Amino acid sequence: MKKIFLAGATGAIGRRMLPLLREAGYEVTGATRAASKAEQLRAAGITPAVVDVYDAAALGAAVAAARPDVVIHQLTDLPPGLKPELMAAGLLRNARLRIEGTRNLLDAALRAGARRLIAQSIAFVYAPGQEPHDESDPLISPAEEPWRTTMEAVVTLERLTAATPRLDGIVLRYGYFYGFGTGFDVAPGKPAVHVDAAAWAAVLAIARGAPGIYNVAEDDGAVSSARARRELGWNPGFRLSDSAAR
């Protein structure tokens, strides 16, 4: 049985992953920085780890205790509902998380002997060009904030995940989320991906797919998710059943 350490277990994607991981029979430790959410994880059959990703020592101890085969990075720090008036500060927080948080999580994974790291990135930052974009297309290089820092963080996260020796790294470039817990009932833009399908891609990547970058989005003309379909067996139409989501 594979052991999983899920960072961001109570976030939008993490919550939808929990029943899928449980159904697949994985032994899961779910990390959250909110002690109040530990019981929520226990009720879902998940071992909670209350830890701040910026506390490298505590994070290392939590990951070591879990002894995971696979570490999954679903951490974000954006405002609820992506409220426009809060986004500038949220993007800067999220950039710090992608850089410092990813480094700490990766170091902890290596020390604990994990063999695979799966990390959340974004598919809506390709440079203008012919669509749909595939994973080899260049990303934007903005000169102004807050997107300049955002892109520096995205590039850092992807490099750390995909190019670290001794760790099979998979980067999932998600489209704009919609569905349960995201604040959006319909796709807010292109490329888009339903939160359940996004969660399913991460679960598939535990046991499938060569290291590298995968677009994970619907066929709305913005990006191509052919690699995720082919190598992960991913389907953008996947949705959790009502019973599984409870």
Quickly state the pLDDT bin for 108 (edges 50, 70, 90): very high
Could you tell me which residue, 89 or 240, shows the higher pLDDT? Answer: 240
The proportion of the chain whose per-residue pLDDT surpasses 90, expressed as a percent, equals 85
The domain total for the chain is: 1
In the prediction, which pLDDT does 79 show?
A: 63
Is the pLDDT confidence value at 147 over 50? yes
Q: Which of 56-65, 130-139, 181-190, 202-211 is predicted least confidently?
A: 181-190
- Res. 128: pLDDT tops 80: yes
- Across residues 41-55, what is the average pLDDT? 95
Flag whether pLDDT at 140 surpasses 60. yes
3-class secondary structure, 1:
coil
Residue 216 pLDDT greater than 80, yes or no:
yes
pTM of the model: 0.95
What does the pLDDT read at residue 115?
97
d(C-alpha 97, C-alpha 154), whole Å: 10
Amino acid 242: pLDDT? 64
Residue count (the chain):
246
Residue 22 has pLDDT above 90, yes or no: yes
**Cα(105)–Cα(63) distance, integer angstroms:** 8
Give the whole-angstrom CA distance, residue 16 versus residue 105: 21
**Residue 31 CB contacts under 8 Å (≥ 6 apart), including other chains:** 5, 6, 7, 8, 9, 48, 49, 50, 51, 53, 59, 62
CATH number, residue 49: 3.40.50.720
Closest Cα to residue 157, out of 117, 115, 119? 119
Domain span at 215: 3-245
pLDDT above 60: residue 243:
no
Q: How confident is the model at residue 218 (pLDDT cuts 50, 70, 90)?
A: very high
- Whether the predicted pLDDT of 126 surpasses 50: yes
